[in-house]
Structure 1
Amino acid sequence: MAFGERKYFLKEELVMRVKALNITYSKYSSMNENKCSYLLRIVVPLRDFKVIEPILDELDEKGYTPLYKFRIKHFDNRRDLDSLEYIYVLNITSREARDLEKKLSKMLHGTIGFFLLFKLRK
């Protein structure tokens, strides 16, 4: 697969899936302890999968399953640089979201992986 032909999830498709879950976007965050929905996207190269495996196991133990799970092949001769992408919808408090951000920041420090955490609201 050529560089320009890589398949990414489309923003419109993700918005459609989120709307199907009856969740709307909230651009203002509240600091109360009510549970809100968050969209978590984690992207790492295959060689760094062991770095995020504990978080994925923790999310699995809490009963969250990935909305999307992708493996994107970038180079034929470097399989260790394939991208792994996980997208979750989490129902957590703002404090749990901050703790999750801190954990992911520490885990992904020094790698070329990244994460995004968006607040959604019912």
Structure 2
Amino acid sequence: MTNALLLDEHYGEAIAIALRERGHDVVSVVADDELRGAPDADVFRVAAASHRRIVTENIKDFRPLLMDAAAQGAPFAALLLVPPRRFPRGRGDRSAVIIAALHEWLAARDAGERPLEDWLV
């Protein structure tokens, strides 16, 4: 499993930049003109084609996409789900907290062996 990440559109490019500066392969939807505002199914297909795990708090839309792709034997993107209660939006600048948590997840020895649906804690 890859450690390359695609940040869903509710995460700014600054987070991807900070993680790249720490040596991680991370891109964001908001920095890609073709993906910004695209339907979740398109984001999922692009992530699957580029072997990237999607970082998202949009569990209700991405989980069914993963389950459907896996059931059909289609290409899929693994998910790194972000619990909104643990990482709430609208409470100051959460970028530093997300960056630290993602860096820790990416730096873990078992990051490449994590399940298809993992949780950021």
Question: Where on the TM-score scale, by shorter chain, does this alignment land: which range?
Answer: under 0.3
* Structure with greater helix percent: 2
State TM-score, norm by structure 2: 0.27
Q: Which has the higher contact order (CA 8 A, sep 6+)?
A: 1
State TM-score, norm by structure 1: 0.27
* Structure with greater strand percent: 1
Larger Rg: 1
